[in-house]
Structure 1
Amino acid sequence: MATLRNYSLLLIPIILIAGSALTGCGREKGEPLFVYCGTSFSKPIKEIGEKFKEKTGAEIEYSFAGCETIFPQILLTRKGDICIVHDPFADMLKEKGVLEEDRVVGRITPVLIVPKGNPKGIKSLEDLARPGIRVALGDPRFQTCAQYVHQKLKEKGIEEAVRKNIVYETKTHQELGNAVKLGTADVSVVWNFIAVLNSDSLDGIWMKEKFPETKIHVCLLNFSKNRDLARKFLEFASSKEGIEIFKRDGYI
């Protein structure tokens, strides 16, 4: 795999989705739990957050962004209680000394996505180099999945041929899924959960290539000011109930 870029330079403003004011139920200070979450995991985490609120009365304030953005945010602000990221960012947080504990709740891997019925007959990465195939890919400057894909294309000697077919490049997997759904592109490569969540309009195609195992981690930050509540969230998200939510949404 290509060397990961220095994400500590990617200081993009935090996008906050704030919860409403706390009712104080089950809380000592009435402060919301602050959770950083990779955008790829927003659906299951929102559901887990709602169930956690039902159980504890706790409000949750979210910061959704790419894992590549969350990492420098945490180091810069030293604020927050929980973060949900994929590999290799949990290890990077450990190396920086800000991670107290983490638990694996699922896994993701790159897959091809095509319109339902696969009208172009796409079966492999090599097909992305076929003349006339419109390709949507993630931007490798901001996407781990895209870094994996470009490395494989380079190894196969078809990276330049595929580049000529790229009609759309973006940061997020959701936007890549939409590009194929709306007919802007014939094919894309995304984390597998996109194929699961859009199975009514997209077909996912597993590839023969082996990619690095990419685990999803729920992490407790060691500067959390809501340590007891944060640990309860960590335990709930990694419980059988929490993992089933991830699994149902395609995070195998």
Structure 2
Amino acid sequence: MKRVWIMMMVAVIWTAPVWGADLMVFSGAGLMKPMEAMRKNFEQQHGATIDVHYGSSGEIFGMVAAGQPCDVLIPGAEKYTQDALKNGWVEKETIRKLVLHLPAIAVPKGNPAKIKGLDDLAREGVRVSIGDPKAPAIGRVSKKLLTKAQLWERVQPNIRVYAPTVNQLLIYVALNQVDATIIWKDLTSWAEAKGKIDVINIDPGRNIIKTIPTAVCTRTQNRALALQFNDYVASAEGLSIWKEWGFEPCAK
């Protein structure tokens, strides 16, 4: 577990915001891979400097609520954007639905606990990790779908850790610290997961699919550039990058 905490601390340091850029973007931590590719492309095309702070959807929402400088908000679920809209923190006309977020069960390679579906997460002795329901979008969704399946109270005794970000859930499984977790399926294509985990699809009738949106913040200090970046992540080029990382574009 010590190794896990070291990796987590490195991730926190690496993703800390750096002020003074042309644009500041707050993004869900699980979107890091496609976002980094789009950031680099946009910087080259526009000669601008983009800083991206990656954190749980709850964290970045809280940062916007606290008035921290943010030009574009891209959380891991639409709920956070809609809540920001209700509070006047994002511009309604700039909201773009980007891609779908599909929950799945991730297990260590070889599936030693023989997990076949949601019901097995409640089996005695199974070690489970779940995103904190008050932090990453996957935590809120995990609690909802387990509650929907009437499994939440039965799974709770098996939960060994409530992770603050979805990225950490991937680490726990890849290092065989737990037997199973509920994670966004697109993360299973990351290099950190290759050869280390297996994926168990959740029955579509029990699953809850979320949408990832983007929006320009009302307090942006560089609205013209923010609009350009907001449009870019929703453009054909941007969507092709999302698809490369396992995301499914929303139907137009």
The answer to whether TM tops 0.5 is yes
Does residue 114 in structure 1 map to residue 107 in structure 2? yes
The aligned amino acid for 1:244 is S
The equivalent of 1:93 in structure 2 is 84
With 110-119 and 192-201 compared, the bigger mean Cα shift is at 192-201
Change (3 A) 1:151 1:216: closer
AA matched with 1:72 = G
Change (3 A) 1:158 1:215: closer
DSSP 3-state at the match of 2:66? helix
What residue in structure 2 maps to residue 16 of structure 1? 16
Q: CA separation in 2, counterparts of 1:102 and 1:94?
A: 9
- Give the corresponding residue for 2:158: 165
Change (3 A) 1:238 1:154: closer
Per the alignment, residue 234 of structure 2 pairs with 238
> Which amino acid in the other structure matches residue 201 of structure 1?
K
Task: State the Cα distance separating 1:213 from its structure 2 match.
Answer: 3.3
The answer to whether the Cα contact below 8 Å between 2:149 and 2:206 also exists between their aligned partners in 1 is no
> 1:53 is matched by which residue type in structure 2?
E
The structure richer in helix per residue is 2
Map 1:1-252; keep pairs closer than 5 Å. 16-18=16-18, 32-77=22-67, 79-85=69-75, 86-100=77-91, 101-197=94-190, 198-208=193-203, 209-252=205-248
Bigger mean CA offset, 103-112 vs 115-124: 115-124
Distance in 2, Cα, partners of 1:214 & 1:151: 12
| Identity across matched positions, percent | 27
Alignment-mate amino acid for residue 88 of structure 2: G
Which one has the largest radius of gyration?
Answer: 1
Q: CA RMSD in A?
A: 2.0
CA distance in 2, matches of 1:78, 1:166: 33
Question: Aligned in 2, Cα 1:176/1:49: closer, same or farther, shift over 3 Å?
Answer: same
Task: Give me the whole-angstrom Cα distance separating, in 1, the residues matched to 2:111 and 2:43.
Answer: 41
User: Is the 1:36–1:63 contact (alpha carbons within 8 Å) kept by the matching residues of 2?
Assistant: yes
Which whole-Å CA distance do the structure 2 matches of 1:184 and 1:87 have between them? 31
Whether contact under 8 Å (1:18, 1:60) holds in the other structure is no
3-state SS in 1 of match to 2:95: strand
Contact 1:16–1:61 (Cα < 8 Å) also in 2 = no
The secondary structure found in structure 2 opposite 1:174 is helix
Contact 2:214 2:230 in 1 (8 A): yes
Unaligned runs of 5+ in 2: 1-14
Structure 1 runs (4+) deviating above 6 angstroms are none
Partner Cα distance (1:185, 1:33) in 2: 38
The alpha-carbon distance between structure 1 residues 159 and 191, as it changes in their structure 2 partners (threshold 3 A), is same
TM-score by length of 1: 0.82
Q: CA deviation at 1:118?
A: 2.2
Q: Is the 8 A contact 2:106 2:197 kept in 1?
A: yes
Cα displacement (A) at 1:64: 2.1
- May I ask how many residue pairs the two structures share in their alignment? 228
Q: What CA deviation, in whole Å up to 9, does each residue of 1:82-123 have, x standing for no partner?
A: 111122111112111222212122111211001223233211
For 1:17 and 1:94, how far apart are their aligned partners in 2?
23
CA distance in 1, matches of 2:28, 2:141: 18
Query: Which structure 1 segments of 5+ residues have no match?
Result: 1-14, 22-30
Per the TM alignment, residue 59 of structure 1 is displaced from its structure 2 partner at its CA by 0.4
Provide the secondary structure at the position in 2 that maps to 1:63. strand
Distance in 2, Cα, partners of 1:156 & 1:47:
37
1:78 Cα deviation after fit: 5.9
